[in-house]
């Protein structure tokens, strides 16, 4: 999709499932069950939607998804269904792993960093050989010192090779990645979680990562049970959504199974309505064909 001087693509890396209770935190199932259908194990369907931004200066990939390194048991637990060839993440849009100049990872949980590295000749190496990888220093440090509640979401082998191969950019706070693409620290989901704000011409957009994972998390108090700082998530959502509604930003959800980009409208005090873009804005059908739970 054209976006000012940029071209944007959604790359759907996989679908998977997580427990509905964990996805909606303190929201009772009698409420979330009306918008998210769960299976017999109480799991709700999710996707990993990566955003690829072609700018006049460089190509930026936002997130890397779950990746292929899962045991059969883990695959079943999360019902992971990979949707791409990991040697060629961008095949659906006619590009290759070598075309990526910058990779932004919102935080280092396994469903965001899992595709960052790949096995080549029995060694784990960066999956995008030419790219610099942008991670908040605070997130990096936390991932290495996570406590018992948080550490199950991190796998060191997803990101240790980035340091080893010297491709990692540890950044401190809000940072421009390339002209028109900026990361902003939100906290909430993890203490240093970052979102990506991008703009070109008169258009502006935001990739919310795990601050608003799906359209069913649009309501500010509907935050995930996984969030380390849920009250921060709630406040930051209100703040960003008010601006996004007022300035008509393009909004992208990382785990939405249906059309993951669109706009939001403010319908009342701290109330927002989701207006997805038409399906035709997605470059390839596979994004939605995979959405069947
Ligand atoms: Zn996630």
Residues of the chain with pLDDT > 90: what percent? Answer: 94
pLDDT at 286 over 70: no
Distance of CA 130 to the CA centre of its chain: 21
Tens-digit pLDDT profile for residues 165-211: 999 999 999 999 999 999 999 999 999 999 999 999 999 999 999 99
The rounded Å distance from CA 224 to ligand 1 centre is: 10
Tally of CB atoms within 10 A around 94:
8
Residue 203 has a pLDDT of 98
The rounded Å distance from CA 210 to ligand 1 centre is: 5
* Tokens at 161, concatenated: 């090779």
Residue 283 has a pLDDT of 72
Give mean pLDDT, residues 68-75.
Answer: 95
The rounded Å distance from CA 242 to ligand 1 centre is: 23
DSSP annotation of 112 reads: H
The rounded Å distance from CA 109 to ligand 1 centre is: 7
Using an 8 Å Cβ cutoff, are 226 and 22 in contact? yes
The rounded Å distance from CA 230 to ligand 1 centre is: 15
| 24 phi and psi angles, rounded to 5 deg | -120, 10
The rounded Å distance from CA 201 to ligand 1 centre is: 30
126 beta partners: 117
Alpha-carbon gap, residue 195 to 105, rounded angstroms: 9
Using an 8 Å Cβ cutoff, are 229 and 188 in contact? yes
Tens-digit pLDDT profile for residues 74-130: 999 999 999 999 999 999 899 999 999 999 999 999 999 999 999 999 999 999 999
Alpha-carbon gap, residue 129 to 97, rounded angstroms: 7
- Kindly calculate the radius of gyration of the chain based on its CA atoms and give it in whole angstroms: 18
Using an 8 Å Cβ cutoff, are 253 and 260 in contact? yes
What range does the domain containing 82 cover?
2-289
The rounded Å distance from CA 273 to ligand 1 centre is: 22
Tens-digit pLDDT profile for residues 229-268: 999 999 999 999 999 999 999 999 999 999 999 999 999 9
The rounded Å distance from CA 153 to ligand 1 centre is: 9
Q: How do strand 181-185 and strand 194-200 relate by DSSP bridges? A: antiparallel
The rounded Å distance from CA 18 to ligand 1 centre is: 10
Residue 25 has a pLDDT of 96
215 Cβ neighbours under 8 A, 6+ residues apart: 253, 256, 258, 262, 274, 276
The rounded Å distance from CA 107 to ligand 1 centre is: 9
Distance of CA 239 to the CA centre of its chain: 19
The rounded Å distance from CA 255 to ligand 1 centre is: 7
CATH number, domain of 163, equals 3.60.15.10
C-alpha atoms less than 13 angstroms from C-alpha of 229 in its C-beta half-sphere: 12
The rounded Å distance from CA 72 to ligand 1 centre is: 20
The rounded Å distance from CA 164 to ligand 1 centre is: 25
Q: Report pTM.
A: 0.96
Total domains in the chain come to: 1
Tally of CB atoms within 10 A around 265:
13
Give Dmax (Cα) for the chain: 56
The rounded Å distance from CA 63 to ligand 1 centre is: 10
The rounded Å distance from CA 260 to ligand 1 centre is: 14
Alpha-carbon gap, residue 59 to 235, rounded angstroms: 32
Angle, alpha carbons 95-105-191 (nearest 5°): 170
Residue 52 has a pLDDT of 98
Name the strand (E) or helix (H) holding 9: strand 6-19
pLDDT at 291 over 60: no
* Tokens at 170, concatenated: 């540890």
């Amino acid at each position: 999709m054209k976006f000012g001087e940029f071209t944007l693509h959604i790359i759907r890396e996989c679908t998977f499932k997580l427990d509905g209770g964990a996805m909606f935190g303190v929201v009772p199932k009698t409420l979330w069950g009306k918008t998210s259908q769960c299976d017999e194990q109480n799991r709700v369907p999710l996707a990993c939607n990566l955003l690829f931004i072609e700018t006049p200066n460089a190509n930026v990939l936002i997130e890397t998804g779950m990746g292929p390194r899962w045991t059969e048991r883990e695959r079943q637990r999360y019902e992971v269904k990979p949707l791409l060839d990991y040697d060629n993440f961008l095949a659906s849009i006619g590009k290759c792993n070598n075309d990526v100049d910058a990779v932004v990872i919102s935080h280092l949980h396994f469903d965001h960093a899992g595709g960052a590295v790949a096995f080549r000749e029995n060694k784990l190496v960066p999956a995008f050989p030419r790219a610099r990888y942008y991670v908040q220093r605070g997130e990096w440090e936390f991932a290495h010192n996570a406590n018992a509640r948080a550490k199950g979401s991190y796998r060191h082998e997803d990101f240790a090779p980035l340091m080893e191969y010297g491709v990692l950019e540890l950044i401190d706070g809000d940072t421009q990645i390339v002209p028109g693409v900026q990361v902003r620290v939100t906290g909430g989901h993890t203490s240093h979680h970052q979102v990506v704000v991008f703009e070109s011409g008169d258009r502006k957009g935001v990739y919310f990562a795990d601050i608003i994972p799906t359209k069913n998390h649009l309501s500010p108090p509907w935050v995930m049970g996984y969030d380390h700082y849920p009250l921060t998530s709630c406040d930051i959502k209100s703040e960003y959504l008010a601006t996004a509604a007022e300035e008509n930003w393009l909004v992208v959800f990382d785990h939405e199974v249906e059309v993951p980009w669109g706009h939001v409208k403010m319908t009342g005090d701290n109330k927002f309505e989701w207006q997805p873009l038409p399906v035709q804005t997605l470059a390839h059908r596979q994004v939605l064909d995979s959405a069947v739970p």
